[in-house]
Amino acid sequence: MEITFNQLARLVSFISKIENETYPETPSFIHSEITGKVLDILLPKYHINQNARILDIGCGQGPALNIFRDKGYLSAIGITLNDEDVRICREKGHDVRKMDQSLLEFPEGSFDFVWARHVIEHSIFPYFTLTEFARVLSPGGTLYLEVPAPETSCHHESNPNHYSVLGRGAWTSLLGRCGFVVQDEATYSFTTGMGPDEYWGFICSKSAASG
């Protein structure tokens, strides 16, 4: 299928509109708590050594980047689309680039560990986005993907900045199509001011065959 200039221009215009809908990600208690607990377990269990090349996709204002640095990981890069988040992260001394998660500006196999927590629900085409995650991850590398569950009391699917709040089966299917093998899954259940809520975590390895 050939894409015309006008079709491509419409897509670029739409992506620019989405960028303007981003907002600063001030760390919240629940997100910071889950981030800390997951990394405490995941990094040693999956043998992410301190020389690992790490990409934090949708880094917000740096809660995971802070932990990586505190644990001695010195090769962590963050990306985000929000200018305020970029500024705050850089003031903290982090290497953070303004970049779209679906249009990663890194060569193939650039990273050993990709951390993508609560970011892919902001993608307008998550299948393509996951292929980008796979492209920049080295064969045998590790992906941590975490998403909000649909149809909870918080109704994440109604968030105007959420475009892809899918069911668990849809996520595992998309991960498999992109060359990921789901090694483990986690469910985080808690109560908010709106009622019960739930997040899902997927710990994946990139198949060597897909590299």
90: left (phi over 0), alpha (psi -120 to 50) or beta: alpha
pLDDT at 209 over 80: no
For 15, 59, 72, 204, 209, the CA distances from 117, given in Å and listed in that order, are: 21, 8, 21, 13, 25
Coil/strand/helix, residue 156: helix
Give the pLDDT of residue 211.
56
CATH code that applies to domain 51-210: 3.40.50.150
Give the pLDDT of residue 154.
96
119 vs 18 pLDDT, higher one: 119
Considering the chain, what percentage of its residues have pLDDT values greater than 90?
Answer: 86
pLDDT at 24 over 90: no
Give the pLDDT of residue 29.
86
Rg (CA), the chain: 17
In tens, the pLDDT along 80-94 reads: 999 999 999 999 999
Give the pLDDT of residue 162.
95
Structure tokens at 75: 């090769």
Q: Judge contact between 144 and 64, C-beta under 8 A.
A: no
pLDDT at 139 over 60: yes
Every domain of the chain and the residues it spans: 51-210
Report field, pTM of the whole predicted structure over 0.75? yes
Q: Judge contact between 34 and 188, C-beta under 8 A.
A: yes
Coil/strand/helix, residue 35: helix
Give the pLDDT of residue 210.
65
pLDDT at 131 over 70: yes
Give the pLDDT of residue 59.
97
